[in-house]
Every structure is written in structure tokens, then in C-alpha cells.
Structure 1
Amino acid sequence: MKKNVYYGKDDFRIESLENVEIGDTELLLKMMCCGVCGTDVHKAIEQTVPTPTVLGHEVSGIIEKTGKDVKDFKAGDRVFVAHHVPCYSCDQCRKGNYSLCPQFKATNLNPGGFSDYIVVSDKHIHSTMGKLPDNVSYEEGALVEPVACCLHGFSKVDLEPGDNVLIMGAGQIGIIQSQIARHKLANQIIVSDVNDFRLEKALAFGATNIINPSKQDIHAELLAMTDGQGIDLIIISAGIGRLLNDAMNLIRRGGQILVFAPFKKDDVHIPAYRFFEDEIKVVGAYSSTPLDYEPALIMIKNKVIDAQAMITHKFPLEELESAIHSAHDPSGQSLKVVITER
């Protein structure tokens, strides 16, 4: 048994996973697939987490064994599991802000998704684990968590059928969001990015139009694509602070902006007058909630989200560092990168 441990930028080490024991309320999961999330890439490249640590949280696998008090799952079950669990009783949870709960980020998988085996606590069993249907592969199951994150984001905005949507960023998250927008009957689903490979992928996954702002006048293109109406909803899915300024200048009167990416803690200058004069709304969304996993699984099961087709690169656990760099390469031809254990 092994795990891939992050010690710093370009410093991943395979280590033995020894003396794995579970309690009566826990279970042992054999990891079969773990997606490489943009936050994993950010943590590894920017070195934003304490080390040593095992990254990875988009997990699917098969249950190896269960503690005697585990009732709803058994050895041999194929499942997905995510990493953060709210307490359900604090002030934030009572308001429905589960991802802001103090317990939320304090909970995690043990040791993390990039490991042969994972000890899953009772909290996770009850809140972030679900069985995979027969027609959902382990690779598809690993995308339940990112799809759930996107559904949480859409719950923060009011998207009406016929609205025009601009998604800034054609990475894995932007591609999922374009498929959800299509499912919600958006009119124009426009995706912008500077990577032409990812833009072409966006068209294949439901975008009606694409824009490369390094080559095109994005404002003029948006007006032309929407017959002069403009954009009702802009989703920022790339962690670039200036995109908020761009979004504030591009959104139509009465429009909404969803911030769905981490920015560096720098000042971002925006045209603040638009809040009052044009009734612009800006909201943020972080992570997912336990309420989003079942809808996410259903969307994957019913091919509303074509999860399997999104996967462009697969690496074994030993090559996690290469997987991180593949996902990080802005000029590369990767969309969704996963770690597989077969």
C-alpha cells in the first residue's frame, strides 16, 4: 500500500501506507480514481498548504471493509466520496451556508485522495459518500464532487431559460458549467479563454460560441453574438483577479456575476457605480454542499454531464507530479486529468 505525499513544489514522494486500521464507525476505501482538481494544482504550484500532506479529494473507489457499526455500506460497494463535511448545527449551517461552516474545512479524508487506501470517517459516510450506479464508471464517479461544486455555484444565481451566459475559463470547471447552462436552457452559452484547444472542447460540450480575448474584441463579439442584448450571467471560472473588472464592464444592466475561482489577495479595481446605477449583482461560491452530490450523480448518470468524455489524461499514482504539471500547463491540451489505480 502506498500514498503520494506532497512536500513542496516539484517534490512528490511515494511512501508506504502502513498499519491502516479502521474504527467501528469507519470504512476502508480502495481508491480507484481521483481527479486532479484546480485547487490541487494551485496548492502544489503555489505551495499554499502545510507539508507534508496528501492532496486529492475527487475520489471514487471500492469499499475494502467496514467497521461493525457501518450499516448503509458494505465491502464491495462502488462509491464516490468527497472531503468536507459541515456540522449542520452552527449559525452558518442554519442559514444554509454549509461551505462556510467552521467544521467544513477542518474535516478531510485520511490521508487524502492520492493514496491507495483511504480511511473514511462516519461523518463522510453519512454526508459525502454515495453508491455508484452500474452505468457510472469509477472515472465518472470521480467527477461527482466537481459537478456538485458547479451546482452549488448555480444555486447562488437566478438563471432563467433564454438568458445569455458568458463563462470565463474553458478548463474542467468551465466545461462542466457550460453543460449545466445548456441543461438549464440558456440561450447563448459563450466561453472565453486564451487556449484554443480548450475553446474547441467547449464547443463540443455545449457552448454555442467561443471567444479568444487575446485575438478578439470581447465586448464587440458579445454584442454580436447576443443580437445586442448583452450578457445576463457571467461566471468567472479562472483564478485571474482582473477578470472581475472585465466582467463588471461586460455585464448588461441588471445582470449577475458569479465568482467561481480563487483570486490572489490583491486589490481589484471595479466600476463600483454599476451596483447602484445598473443593479449589478456579484456573488461568490466556494466548494460544494452535501445537498449537491445526489443531483450531480444523477446528471452524470443521465449523461447531462458527459464526464467520461471530459477526461483527456490518465496517470498512475506514481506519476502524480506529471499529472499536476499536465493540468497546470496553460498551453497544453489537457481538460480533465485523473489518477487511476487498476
Structure 2
Amino acid sequence: MYKSVYHDINHFEMEPVGDLEINDDEVLLKMQVCGLCGTDIHKAVDKTVQTPITLGHEIAGEIIKAGSSVEGFKAGDRVFLAHHVPCFTCTYCKRGHYSLCPQFKVTNVDPGGFSELIRVPALHVKHTMGKIPDDMNFETGAMVEPLACCLHGFEQIRMHPGDNVLILGSGQIGCLQVQLANHFLADRVIVSDVNPYRLKKAQAVGATDIINAAEDDVIKTVKDLTGGRGADIVIISAGIGALLQDAVNCVARGGTVLVFAPFPKKDIPIPAYRFFEDEISIVGAYSSTPYNYTPALELLKKGVIDVQEMVTHRFPLSELNDAISLAHDTTKEALKVLIVPDEGR
């Protein structure tokens, strides 16, 4: 069994996983699918993590061994998995900010999702692992975690039936958010991007209007589409600082901007008068919480969210760097990229 280890920009090595011993309250998982997340791409392209490290966290696989004290799971079970677990008792957790918990980021699976074999610690077995239904494939199961993140974002906004929603960025997350906005009864779901292929994908999963930001004035077009009001909800789903300015200029009076992508750590000027005069809100959402996984799974089970329409590429684990290069190139016709184990290694 092998893992893909990130050493440097454009430098991944396939290395043996070695012996992964599990405790009585842990499980050993064979990875079947691991989705390539935008944060994985950001970490690899910009080297924002200490190396060597095995990335990946949108995991679906099969349990090959369960510890003697594990309840509810057994060898042969097909499961999805998320990588961080809050403590549920700190000040942040008590206020409902589970992803801000000091324990959250220090918990992880071993060695990471881009590994053919994964040790699932006890906290993850208890709080972030769930069974994939028999009639659901591993690819859909791997989408539970990113969909849960999107649900966490929608928890931060006060969306009403009939709202106009603008999504800045039509990548994999943007396409999930399009479908959620429709599920929560949006009137118009407007999507902007510079990639025509991704805009067509957004339209295919339910966007009512698309804007090519490389050709059209996003702010003017949004105002035209909404009768001059602007969008009640604006979701930033691409890590481009200038989009915050566009979002604040596009949001309607009384509306909300959701920041759902990491920005560079530098100041971004915005028209701050709108907070007082127009009662706009800007909120952020990072990752997911254990309470988002069941709703995400149910939305997938019931076909409310179509993820197969989004999947464009599948790469073997040994070609992870090529997968990241493709997904990072905004000129390519790629949306959701999945990583699968190498056959016959």
C-alpha cells in the first residue's frame, strides 16, 4: 500500500504506507476515492503547509479492520470520512463555532486522504465517519464532506425563499452552492466566473443566469438582472481578494455576503458606509461541523444534489501532481477531480 507524499511545489513521491497499527477504538480504512479539494490545491501550489505531508480529506473507502471496542462499524462497511473533530466543550464549541475550536485543526486522519490505507482515530470514528448506503457509489460518498462544508456556510446566512443569490466562482464548491441555493428556494441563482466551461457546468446544475467576468461587468449585470436591487445573498467561492469588493457592490440593501474562500492576508478596501446605511452583513464560514454530515448525506441520498454531473476527471494516486495542475488551471475544462488508488501496485 502506498501514499502520495507532498514534498515541494510540483514534487510528490509515492511512498510505502508501512504498518498502520490501530487501537481498540480505531479502524483501518482502504481508500477508494478521495476528492481533490480547493484547499489541497492551494496548499500544494503555494506551499502553505510544512512538508513532508500527505494531503487529502474528502474520503470514501472500505473498512478492512475494526478495533475490538468499535461499535456500529465492522470490516466490509463502506464509509465516508472527514478529517477534523472539535472538542464540543471549549468556549468556541459552546457558542457553535466548532471549526474554530483549538482541537479542530490538530486532529486528522493518518496519514491523510491521499493514501491507499488510512488509520481512522477514535474521535473520527465516533464523530465524523458514517456509512455509505448500499445504492450509493464511493464517488458520491466522497462528496459528503465538501457538501457538509457548503451546508455550514448556508448556516451563516439568513436566506429566505425568493431571494436572489449571486455566487462568485463556479468551481466544484460553487456548483454545490448553486444546487443548495435552489434547494432553499432561491428565485434567481446567478453565477460569475472567467472559465466558460465551468459556467456551463454551473448552468447544468441549476444556475439561472451566468456571467463571464472576463467579458462582462459583473456589478452592472447583477443590477440589471435584479431590477437594480442587487443580490440578497452573495457567496464568494474563489480565493480572489478583489471579489470582496465586487460582492459588497453587488449585495442588496439588507443582504449578506458569505466569504467561503481564503483570501491573501492583506487589506482589502470596501465601501464601509454600506454597513450602517444599508444594513449589509459580511460573514465567513470555514470547513464543516459534525452536525453537517447527516444532512449532507440525506441530500445526496435523495438526489437533491447531483455530484456525478460535476465529476470531470479521475486520476490514479500516483498522478496526484498532474491532477492538481489540471484543477488549478482555470483555462482547462475541469471541475471536480477525484483521486483513486493505483491498480496493481
SS at match of 1:308: coil
Q: Is residue 223–residue 250 contact of structure 2 (8 Å, CA) maintained in 1? A: no
- 1:70-95 Cα deviation digits (max 9, x unpaired): 11100000000000000001010111
- 1:177-222 Cα deviation digits (max 9, x unpaired): 0000000110000000000000011000010000012211222211
Shift of 1:251: 1.1
SS at match of 2:309: helix
SS at match of 2:334: coil
Amino acid at match of 1:83: H
> What is aligned with 2:298?
298
**Following the alignment from structure 2 to structure 1, what is the Cα–Cα distance between the partners of residues 253 and 159?**
15
- 1:57-80 Cα deviation digits (max 9, x unpaired): 000000000111111100000000
Amino acid at match of 2:340: T
Q: Is residue 33–residue 340 contact of structure 2 (8 Å, CA) maintained in 1? A: yes
How many percent identity over aligned positions?
Answer: 58
> What is aligned with 1:192?
192
- Residue pairs, 1:17-56, within 5 angstroms: 17-56=17-56
Task: Point out the more displaced range, 222-231 or 318-327.
Answer: 222-231
RMSD: 0.8
**Following the alignment from structure 1 to structure 2, what is the Cα–Cα distance between the partners of residues 266 and 131?**
42
SS at match of 1:154: helix
**Following the alignment from structure 1 to structure 2, what is the Cα–Cα distance between the partners of residues 156 and 98?**
13
> What is aligned with 1:6?
6
SS at match of 1:307: coil
**Following the alignment from structure 1 to structure 2, what is the Cα–Cα distance between the partners of residues 216 and 7?**
40
Amino acid at match of 1:264: P
SS at match of 1:80: strand
2:264 matches 1:270: no
SS at match of 1:32: strand
**Following the alignment from structure 1 to structure 2, what is the Cα–Cα distance between the partners of residues 52 and 219?**
43
**Following the alignment from structure 2 to structure 1, what is the Cα–Cα distance between the partners of residues 88 and 272?**
35
Amino acid at match of 1:259: V
Shift of 1:224: 2.4
- 1:253-278 Cα deviation digits (max 9, x unpaired): 11110000000101100111110111
Q: Is residue 219–residue 246 contact of structure 2 (8 Å, CA) maintained in 1? A: no
* TM-score normalised by the chain length of structure 1: 0.99
> What is aligned with 1:102?
102
SS at match of 1:309: coil
Amino acid at match of 1:205: V
Q: Is residue 85–residue 103 contact of structure 2 (8 Å, CA) maintained in 1? A: yes
**Following the alignment from structure 2 to structure 1, what is the Cα–Cα distance between the partners of residues 221 and 311?**
30
- Residue pairs, 1:306-317, within 5 angstroms: 306-317=306-317
* TM-score normalised by the chain length of structure 2: 0.98
Amino acid at match of 2:27: L
**Following the alignment from structure 1 to structure 2, what is the Cα–Cα distance between the partners of residues 334 and 275?**
37
> What is aligned with 1:131?
131
- Residue pairs, 1:1-342, within 5 angstroms: 1-341=1-341
Amino acid at match of 2:280: I
Shift of 1:228: 3.0
Q: Is residue 205–residue 309 contact of structure 2 (8 Å, CA) maintained in 1? A: no
**Following the alignment from structure 1 to structure 2, what is the Cα–Cα distance between the partners of residues 253 and 226?**
12
**Following the alignment from structure 1 to structure 2, what is the Cα–Cα distance between the partners of residues 48 and 148?**
24
**Following the alignment from structure 1 to structure 2, what is the Cα–Cα distance between the partners of residues 172 and 38?**
8
Shift of 1:131: 0.2
The answer for unaligned runs of 5 or more in structure 2 is none
Shift of 1:136: 1.2
**Following the alignment from structure 2 to structure 1, what is the Cα–Cα distance between the partners of residues 132 and 87?**
25
Shift of 1:230: 2.0
Shift of 1:14: 0.3
Amino acid at match of 1:115: S
**Following the alignment from structure 1 to structure 2, what is the Cα–Cα distance between the partners of residues 237 and 77?**
34
Amino acid at match of 1:269: P
Task: Point out the more displaced range, 195-204 or 16-25.
Answer: 16-25
The answer for unaligned runs of 5 or more in structure 1 is none
Moved over 6 A (4+): none
SS at match of 2:118: strand
Aligned length: 342
Amino acid at match of 2:240: I
